[in-house]
Chain A
Amino acid sequence: MARHQQCDGMTRRDAIRVGMIGSAAGLSISQFSQLAQAGAINERASGKAAIFVELVGGPSHLDTFDLKPQGPSEIRGPFAAIKTNVPGVEICEHLPQLAKSADKFAILRGVSHSLGAHPLGQRFVFTGNRPTPSLEYPSLGSVAAHELKSDQDIPGYVAIPKENAGPGHLGVRYAPLATNATPRAGQPFGVRGIALSGGLTLEEISKRQGLLRELDTKFNAIKEGDDLISGLDQFSQQAFDMITSKRTRLAFDIRRESAAYQQLFGEDEFSQSCLLATRLVESGVRFVTVTLGGWDTHSDNFTKLKDNLLPKLDAGLSGLFVGLEEKGLLDSTTVYVTGEFGRTPKINTRSAEGGRDHYPRCMFMMMGGGGIKGGQVLGESDEKAAGPKHEGFKPEDVAASFFHSLGIDHQKEFQTNIGRPVHIVRDGTVIPDLFA
């Protein structure tokens, strides 16, 4: 392997070593983790875990958190603004629960970018880096999985049901454990690979693991020196620990929450996913991505929002914030909510009641917990919600702030697998007002 010296004196080989747990000859895994820990993570940051909510499809900012009640009729829409428990902050009337917990999160308005296609917008916002054809940036969660250490018997990064950006140049090692399904209220929730399947009992799998240990000796001679062999051993043990871990099994079993706690959430699958997310964080998972899709409302925007999307969003997110607070986790868990873009201020006339189209120039985002100062609105859109009124925020700024809340230095450099140095967030600055 060519070892290209970088200008900071770090060779590509070093970086790859630091990047891949278990890939170094000579240093043990734990020493490595310690090194990684010592280097990158600011232990004083409030956020120890994160929940990232992807609103896939691009939610309309005008009909949710950035209403223009005084705006012209062709943009305004039928929804009214209501007061929240924070004086001066108003949101959509169909988000009554969130209005009652507005002190727990900050609303960012006038966030702006220029990529109006779903995949590109998602890759931009969900990675914090504008996409380029020659390099795939990792999702926020994969970066966190790379940076934050988690316990051996629990997955560090879980996606419910999956994430939309992918681990990019960090590789499959930092991909999430995807549940591939969403939990339903009051029903047992089995996650592929986690719950013992195939009629396997704990006793049976332990017996088999015992046999495996005795048969799997072929490469013992080169165990220490070969990255692949030592990596396979490490993950084999960790997988066994996780499969047999009561903690992990229980973490996914949302029925174990008290009835009172379950009532904080709605019965829909998004709310239940949020409930699961809080439970996972409580159990030691460091990063959870939750997805709510369906926001691509080109037609019948208002019915879709009012009847379906907003009630779910309201129940799920309010449950998430209140639930985290109840568990005493809100201060140490950063919640970041965003879609890939906003929607056109002008209501189109293609369907009977009209819809809104892709609109990256103006969108909203939300952040709360993890040292974020709640109960405030940062930024502002212009009179028609068509762009930021002043300078506005870039998705990169919000991503940088998000990592900052977790103690991850967004300017830290990764070596990609072709030896190219890239910052975690290439082009963003932390928004200081977000923090308490």
Chain B
Amino acid sequence: MNFNHWLSLVGLGIVGGMLFTPFTEGENSHPAKSTVPETRESALEQAMPAVDVRFAQDSDEVPDFQRHVGPLLGRLGCNGRSCHGSFQGQGGLQLSLFGYDFEKDHQALSADGTYRVDLEDPEGSLILTKPTDPEDHGGGQRFSDDSWQYRLIKNWISGGAEDLKSNVRLSELKVFPSDILSKPQQIDQLSVIAKWSDGTEEDVTPLSRFQSNNPQVASIDKNGEIIGGDRGDTHLIVFYDNEVVSVPVISSVNHSLPTPKMPFAKPTAIDHLVMDKLDRLGIQPSPTVGDLAFLRRVSLDIAGTLPSPAEIRAFLADNAVDKRARKIDELLETDAYAAWWTTFLGDMTGNSSRQLTNVAYEDMAAKGWYRWLHQRVKENVPYDEIVRGIVLSKSRTDGESLTEYSTRMSADYQDAKADRFADSPTMPYYWMRREFQTSDTLAISFAHSFLGVRIQCAQCHKHPFDQWTQDDFKQFARFFSGVSIKQPQRAVSGEKEELQAIYEKLEIDPTKVRGGNLRRQLSQKARQGEIVPFAELNVGPPRKSRDELKAEQESMKQAMEQKQTVADPDDEMMGGNADAKKEPPKNAKNKKKLTRAERRELQRKQQARRRAQQRRNRFYSDAILLGGSGVALSDFTDARVPAMNWLAHEENPYFAKAIVNRVWARYFGIGIVEPADDLNLANPPSNGPLLDYLADGFVENEYDLKWLHREIANSHIYQLSWETNPSNEHDRRNFSHALPRRLAAEVVYDAITMATSSDEKAATFQSQMDNRAIAIPGTVSQQNRRRGGNTMNFAMKLFGKSNRDSSCDCDRSAQTSLVQSVFMKNDRHIFEQIRHQDGWLENLTGGSESSQVARTQAKELARAKSKLKNQQKAFRKAKNKDNLKELNRLKRRMKMVESQIATIQQSISKGKREREQELKKDEVITEAWLRTVSRFPTEAELVRCRTYFENDPDKVNALTGVMWALINTKEFIVNH
């Protein structure tokens, strides 16, 4: 393994090195911060003055395309997506979206015959006449002909309109001030200084673009002038070249606060870090919550499960000081924790039933994926090891033959719980998803899953908020280009006969039976216990896509044609070519000396070389890691290896941060970086030191997920109330109070079951994950209809369980909707659950035994009633026929049945009365509260429920109403 390649990414310098600083130095620091603090004044003094000064009057200076003209076009908005940055271009001119493709933009501007740039008549160039003419330019007037912009562009054209002059690159972008303490109406100004690799520095403020992440707190205009707004904090973002720099702005909520005092008795590291920020903001945190609110919150967050009334009472009765910490430990040991956080990892890695239909048979792959993760979460395997098992996965174990592989997989298929698969060293399904079969989509998925970076923007254009260019993306995608799937009807070379033998034994001809039909037949055979072939992951050398090869061949052909014509001295047509004349005909001398046979031999050799070259050319020889260094891929048999080494290297700026931030977001409803899967330079963490602390601690503790859970859940900050005070009511980003969050789809569904089940059933439900929504392996529950699979899937869709389809954490929805409310109020599932025969309510009103009696009685009553109805019918018939004898007979029998009905009815209402009398109303009402909202009702709430109870003669119905109302409160469906 070549460590040099990936180690060299540390301290890379140039632009790639910039990547680390915004994250590792925290939000208060600035990438440009050097050891000796530089003031704005001294920096400006050293730097070349800005272009608006240099071109204020006529000047002889010839500006540079990359440093000046390109950025100016960006600043003027020319390359915006509704203008010339559109993929269709605008008015015939297309620039690279968001700039940065300097070469292409230069070509577009200087293309022959367009007169965009006219070297003969610079002032007649369209790039000067159009933007100065409000009539002729679709984009309106962008500057006047008496402006520095005009003179800058004019001088560039009259200087020859040259492309990039040299290899000088931007090495640092300094922004002053590096942070801002603002207040309403306060005016500040940002200055931007570019430092180039040749050592020159220039004030580029008029060529930079600015943006405020929250204009309500601080707005910034196009010249970098800042006006303070509301109290709070945000970041200002500066863009120049491909660099992105953020500047924190804080506008303290309350300047008159007394010297801040730590409000918590034994503050944790998290408490300190959050309080540091809150102190600077002048925000007082909310108080911590009581035991009951804590218990509900932490049970839902760690285990995705409501606490039972017994648990609540036990927790209250516990007087130990460390009972919260112990509860956290206890929850982390439950099966529910393992299930719920496996589901979290399933979201993150994209375990989607729909994407896996072709990988194995039925839901086997999704189940295997789930079980594999589950075993590791349960055993608390270090996170980096889990990821390694996914990233470097293989279908076959070392040395496994096709027959052995098929035998093993066929046996796994029989294993309904996929426990055997969970023991596999690696989990290959990640790479085998149906719609993730190009290196581009795999790169997007990899960056999303393990880096928390949305690189997809750069697939088509420069990332608008980050430094990634299309080239960065393409280079990164190379690492995944060797990954492909081998379908079960195909054999790799050397295994054809082995595969044939398997099919022969199955009596299936894969050349005749195809597609879905073949899959069905194979799955049927597998079910019968036969050995069938399976799809498998193929990891070959990183291979260029067909389109790329074609484009390469095309350009090679062109180059060759050119070379040939240049090299051929006999070509009269090229006689005018000065280069061709200068160049001596290289082969001319040799040609004469060679014999015919020698020539043929030479040609043969050349041809062989060319072919070998072509074969080699099908593969990539190198690739570049995101923001990192180049890697010689030929050093590795599996190109995923260097990507994995880079990923889990402790200096990787994303790997640890991405996971700790996501876990944090699950506990707080909002990430330290938010959206939690969008780590980019323009989206800095709201609390950089906090993110650093967690990420560093996570690495130091060997990627121990439970360490992370404990660290977060034991902090006072996690245990704050949602109730706000005047200083923190507008804060959503600094964790000064809890944010109410709608329960996740799976958790809502399970909470309804849990709240309505009998104590006995609830206990099983808490400990066994078989029928739990939080333990659905893929995206769709395979439970059959009888066990509620349909309703479960219906609810999952309604409440937005992640469909894990598009490499975005937003595949899971926490939105509320009309149909959700309709479901909670009026779906038969809710009524069935409240009145379920194994439910709490049925149990309460006499237990299963007497409800058995009640059911029998109800049946008897129904039978008697229908009997009576038939008799009445017969009676009417007989009456019509005047059959007196029959009429009398029927009258007698009807009387008998009527009295029978009366008896049954009497005994039913007696039983009901008896059962209802047993109901101690305050007790059951309290129980209903504990079951749903995990707390005791207040006196007023109790009184209200009591009245409701008393006003309904049917007590069971009354209690049903109370349960219905409680399940429909916001308090039930929200974690708070």
Given contacts A172-B813, A235-B820, A236-B968, contact A2 B826 (CB under 8 A): no
Contact of B970 among A135, A174, A214, A218 (CB under 8 A): A218
Interchain CA distance A243-B831 in the complex, whole Å: 15
Given contacts A172-B815, A215-B941, contact A180 B794 (CB under 8 A): yes
Interchain CA distance A287-B378 in the complex, whole Å: 47
Interchain CA distance A136-B974 in the complex, whole Å: 27
Given contacts A7-B77, A208-B964, A222-B729, 15 further A-B contacts (CB under 8 A): A4-B464, A7-B83, A171-B800, A171-B815, A172-B820, A173-B816, A192-B827, A194-B826, A205-B826, A216-B971, A221-B723, A221-B724, A232-B821, A240-B825, A243-B822
A221 — which chain B residues lie within 8 A by C-beta?
Answer: 723-724
Partner-binding segment picked from A319-327, A332-340, A371-379, A415-423: A415-423
A2 — which chain B residues lie within 8 A by C-beta?
Answer: 213, 465, 674-675, 678, 682-683
Question: Chain B 320-335, CB within 8 Å of chain A: the 1/0 string?
Answer: 0000000000000000
Inter-chain contact B974/A232, CB cutoff 8 Å: yes
Instruction: Tell me if B660 is interfacial: C-beta within 8 Å of chain A.
Output: no
Question: 15 interchain pairs (CB within 8 A)?
Answer: A1-B674, A2-B682, A4-B682, A172-B798, A172-B815, A173-B817, A192-B828, A197-B831, A218-B971, A219-B722, A222-B724, A226-B739, A232-B816, A240-B825, A242-B822
Specify which of A196, A198, A215 lies most central, judged by the most chain B CB atoms within 10 Å of its CB: A215
Size range of the chain B interface in the assembly = 35 or more
Instruction: Tell me if A231 is interfacial: C-beta within 8 Å of chain B.
Output: yes
Interface of A with B (CB < 8 Å)? 1-5, 7-8, 11, 13, 20, 133-136, 155, 169, 171-175, 177, 180, 192-194, 196-200, 204-205, 207-208, 211-212, 214-216, 218-219, 221-222, 225-226, 228-229, 231-233, 235-236, 238-240, 242-243, 417-418, 420-421
Inter-chain contact A169/B810, CB cutoff 8 Å: yes
Contact of B969 among A5, A216, A421 (CB under 8 A): A216
Question: Chain B 927-969, CB within 8 Å of chain A: the 1/0 string?
Answer: 0000000000000010011001000000001000110111011
B976 — which chain A residues lie within 8 A by C-beta?
Answer: 218-219
- A-B complex: 7 closest residue pairs judged by Cβ atoms: A198-B831, A239-B821, A7-B80, A417-B810, A212-B965, A134-B456, A235-B821
Inter-chain contact B808/A418, CB cutoff 8 Å: yes
Interchain CA distance A187-B944 in the complex, whole Å: 42
Instruction: Tell me if B819 is interfacial: C-beta within 8 Å of chain A.
Output: yes
Instruction: Tell me if B740 is interfacial: C-beta within 8 Å of chain A.
Output: yes
Given contacts A1-B674, A136-B805, contact A208 B818 (CB under 8 A): no
Interchain CA distance A221-B729 in the complex, whole Å: 10
B825 — which chain A residues lie within 8 A by C-beta?
Answer: 205, 236, 239-240, 243
Inter-chain contact B459/A134, CB cutoff 8 Å: yes
Interchain CA distance A214-B942 in the complex, whole Å: 11
Inter-chain contact B678/A239, CB cutoff 8 Å: no
Inter-chain contact B822/A239, CB cutoff 8 Å: yes
Inter-chain contact A211/B962, CB cutoff 8 Å: yes
Inter-chain contact B968/A3, CB cutoff 8 Å: no
Min CB–CB distance B246 → chain A (angstroms): 10
Instruction: Tell me if B742 is interfacial: C-beta within 8 Å of chain A.
Output: yes
Interface of B with A (CB < 8 Å)? 77, 80-83, 211-215, 435-436, 441, 444, 454, 456-457, 459, 464-465, 674-675, 678, 682-683, 722-724, 729-730, 732-733, 739-742, 794, 797-800, 805-808, 810, 813-828, 830-832, 835, 941, 944-945, 948, 957, 961-962, 964-966, 968-971, 973-974, 976
B830 — which chain A residues lie within 8 A by C-beta?
Answer: 198
Interchain CA distance A318-B821 in the complex, whole Å: 36
Interchain CA distance A238-B817 in the complex, whole Å: 10
B813 — which chain A residues lie within 8 A by C-beta?
Answer: 171-172
Interchain CA distance A416-B245 in the complex, whole Å: 24
B810 — which chain A residues lie within 8 A by C-beta?
Answer: 169, 417-418
Inter-chain contact A218/B818, CB cutoff 8 Å: no
Interchain CA distance A229-B817 in the complex, whole Å: 12
- Please give me the residue from chain B that is nearest to A177 by CB atom: B819
Interchain CA distance A205-B830 in the complex, whole Å: 13
- Please give me the residue from chain A that is nearest to B77 by CB atom: A7
Inter-chain contact A418/B817, CB cutoff 8 Å: no
- Please give me the residue from chain A that is nearest to B81 by CB atom: A7
Contact of A211 among B739, B817, B948 (CB under 8 A): B948
Interchain CA distance A194-B819 in the complex, whole Å: 10
Inter-chain contact B794/A175, CB cutoff 8 Å: no
Specify which of A8, A171, A212 lies most central, judged by the most chain B CB atoms within 10 Å of its CB: A212
Inter-chain contact A219/B816, CB cutoff 8 Å: no
Inter-chain contact A215/B969, CB cutoff 8 Å: yes
Min CB–CB distance A127 → chain B (angstroms): 13
Inter-chain contact B970/A232, CB cutoff 8 Å: yes
Min CB–CB distance B960 → chain A (angstroms): 9
Inter-chain contact A133/B968, CB cutoff 8 Å: no
Min CB–CB distance B107 → chain A (angstroms): 23
Interchain CA distance A392-B962 in the complex, whole Å: 62
Contact of A133 among B436, B678, B824, B957 (CB under 8 A): B436
Inter-chain contact A198/B828, CB cutoff 8 Å: yes
A239 — which chain B residues lie within 8 A by C-beta?
Answer: 818, 821-822, 824-826
Inter-chain contact A207/B961, CB cutoff 8 Å: yes
B464 — which chain A residues lie within 8 A by C-beta?
Answer: 4
Specify which of B817, B823, B825, B969 lies most central, judged by the most chain A CB atoms within 10 Å of its CB: B825
Interchain CA distance A430-B215 in the complex, whole Å: 37
A232 — which chain B residues lie within 8 A by C-beta?
Answer: 742, 816, 821, 970, 973-974
Inter-chain contact A212/B969, CB cutoff 8 Å: yes
- Please give me the residue from chain B that is nearest to A211 by CB atom: B965
Inter-chain contact B816/A177, CB cutoff 8 Å: no
Contact of A235 among B77, B797, B818, B948 (CB under 8 A): B818
Given contacts A136-B806, A242-B822, contact A418 B82 (CB under 8 A): no
Given contacts A197-B828, A240-B825, contact A211 B961 (CB under 8 A): yes
- Please give me the residue from chain B that is nearest to A192 by CB atom: B827
Min CB–CB distance B679 → chain A (angstroms): 11
Interchain CA distance A222-B813 in the complex, whole Å: 22
Min CB–CB distance B528 → chain A (angstroms): 26
Inter-chain contact A228/B808, CB cutoff 8 Å: no
Interchain CA distance A228-B810 in the complex, whole Å: 16
A226 — which chain B residues lie within 8 A by C-beta?
Answer: 739-740
A196 — which chain B residues lie within 8 A by C-beta?
Answer: 826
Inter-chain contact B826/A243, CB cutoff 8 Å: yes
Min CB–CB distance A345 → chain B (angstroms): 21
Inter-chain contact B818/A242, CB cutoff 8 Å: yes
Inter-chain contact B800/A172, CB cutoff 8 Å: yes
Inter-chain contact B822/A228, CB cutoff 8 Å: no
A136 — which chain B residues lie within 8 A by C-beta?
Answer: 805-806
Min CB–CB distance B968 → chain A (angstroms): 5
Interchain CA distance A228-B821 in the complex, whole Å: 13
Min CB–CB distance A10 → chain B (angstroms): 11
Inter-chain contact A134/B821, CB cutoff 8 Å: no
Inter-chain contact B826/A197, CB cutoff 8 Å: yes
- Please give me the residue from chain B that is nearest to A131 by CB atom: B435
A417 — which chain B residues lie within 8 A by C-beta?
Answer: 675, 808, 810
Min CB–CB distance A374 → chain B (angstroms): 33
- Please give me the residue from chain B that is nearest to A25 by CB atom: B730
Min CB–CB distance B300 → chain A (angstroms): 15
Inter-chain contact B678/A418, CB cutoff 8 Å: yes
A173 — which chain B residues lie within 8 A by C-beta?
Answer: 815-818
Interchain CA distance A175-B801 in the complex, whole Å: 14
Inter-chain contact A155/B806, CB cutoff 8 Å: no
Inter-chain contact B970/A219, CB cutoff 8 Å: yes
Interchain CA distance A228-B975 in the complex, whole Å: 11
- Please give me the residue from chain A that is nearest to B810 by CB atom: A417
Contact of B444 among A134, A193, A238 (CB under 8 A): A134
- Please give me the residue from chain A that is nearest to B819 by CB atom: A177
Given contacts A172-B813, A207-B961, A418-B454, contact A133 B970 (CB under 8 A): no
- Please give me the residue from chain A that is nearest to B724 by CB atom: A222
Contact of B722 among A194, A222, A243 (CB under 8 A): A222
Contact of A215 among B723, B739, B835, B944 (CB under 8 A): B944
B678 — which chain A residues lie within 8 A by C-beta?
Answer: 2, 418
Inter-chain contact A133/B815, CB cutoff 8 Å: no
